[in-house]
Structure 1
Amino acid sequence: MLTYLMLLEEDADKARFQQLYEQYRGPMYRTALRYLKDEGRAQDAVHDAFVKIALHFQKISALSCMEMGSYIVTIVENRCIEILRKEKRRLDWDEDWDIPAPSGAEDEAGYRRLVALVDSMPETYREVLTLRFVLEWSSKEIARTLGLSVGAVNTRISRGRAMLIQRLKEVGYDYDRT
């Protein structure tokens, strides 16, 4: 807290900032944790957001209560998105994600073929399919993280699924939607 208060000049601002901090640190942390799925990174995101709030406190404190709350949540969401973008890496389905492989030699071979097919897809489709079906993110969460519109995300999901179904058929898997 002292770090943030040092960024403020007037005592009145410091008192208002302390109030704001107490009111929003919990919701900001929960928001960051929802995005980042890691306590340490969530704490870092909240810290960075509060530094930004302290640096621009004169402007922020002039907002209405509702506008301020919205703005503060947006700051932490944007910081989380920045963190996710910086950490963005190619997804390795076998090691990075805890996806249980099926039991049995035949099932294991099919699983390996599926992973290889997904890995061979263009990154734009592989990425959205992984976020949607492995991590179970909503289209809105994917859109925010990747900086796309929800419509673009839904289009990529649809095209990616169609591409995967086609590839499964090409390797002899009879995909039936029913």
Structure 2
Amino acid sequence: MKASAQLVDAARGGDTQAIAQLLTQCQPDLKRFARRTCSSAEDAEDAVQAALWQLYRKIGALRTAATFAVWLFRIVERECFRLFRGRKGAQGQEGVDVEAVAAQALPLDLRLDLSRAIAALPEAWREVLILRDVDELTAPEVAQQLGLGVEAVKSRLHRARAMVRERLMASGYWNKDGGIDGLR
């Protein structure tokens, strides 16, 4: 996500111009994420609108600028799932087991620890990780956006993933075979 820490901090402080700028800057990334996450284009649009509304209403409650992107993407993800459940119940569709979809989701404590691990990364590594793994930009796109070489992007991404993995291992999620305990 392209939002700078200074812009997020200004918005958290109640600067309406900063909030408006954040709403504009975040919308394309949220739409791209929602299109991949939601079950329909209509749900994706609704999820983005819900996330932008939450951003507008609750940006002041955000504790740190570092967790901004994770917070906003989680809102979209939750909204997509909520809309999916609602559509299934309203239309009586058969064949899709909502409980099975929910069971595949990561446990809440793992998601929280993952969010904390990403937020704890140094900003240079966190930016690369989020652009590559959350926004799904290519290495050349990340390099261009951050003004880096492709090799620097790859190096930072490798180090960021290693740091997140180390933190999750310390939390007891990763087993010695490289898998996540408690998941298939």
Larger radius of gyration: 1
Interval containing the TM-score (normalised by the shorter chain): 0.3 to 0.5
Q: TM-score, normalised by structure 2?
A: 0.43
